[in-house]
Amino acid sequence: MSDERLTDLEIRIAYQEDTLRSLDTTVARQQADIERLERMNRELYQRLREVSELMEAGSKAPAHEKPPHY
């Protein structure tokens, strides 16, 4: 194998290693983002259920009664 060919291969490997590190960083950041978004989704879903339950409970109150703060 010629020295020029060996040098070219070493350069290509160096670029591939750099690309691999960059991709690894990107995937790790995306995984953290996915976990954060999943947590937010669960919290919002829970809040929606709570509001829905409150609305259902409020609709069962008689329409002619005044709210307790009156």
Q: How many residues does the chain have?
A: 70
The structure's pTM equals 0.64
Q: Which amino acid is at 63?
A: A
Element (H, E) at 9: helix 3-59
DSSP state of 1: -
CA-closest candidate to residue 16, choices 8, 4, 28: 8
> How many folded domains does the chain comprise?
1
Any domain includes 59:
no
Any domain includes 58:
no
Q: Whole-angstrom Cα distance, residue 63 to residue 65?
A: 6
Query: pLDDT 10s digit of each residue in the chain, 70 long?
Result: 799 999 999 999 999 999 999 999 999 999 999 999 999 999 999 999 999 989 888 776 555 667 677 6
Any domain includes 30:
yes
Any domain includes 21:
no
Any domain includes 32:
yes
The residue segments making up the domain with residue 33 are 26-52
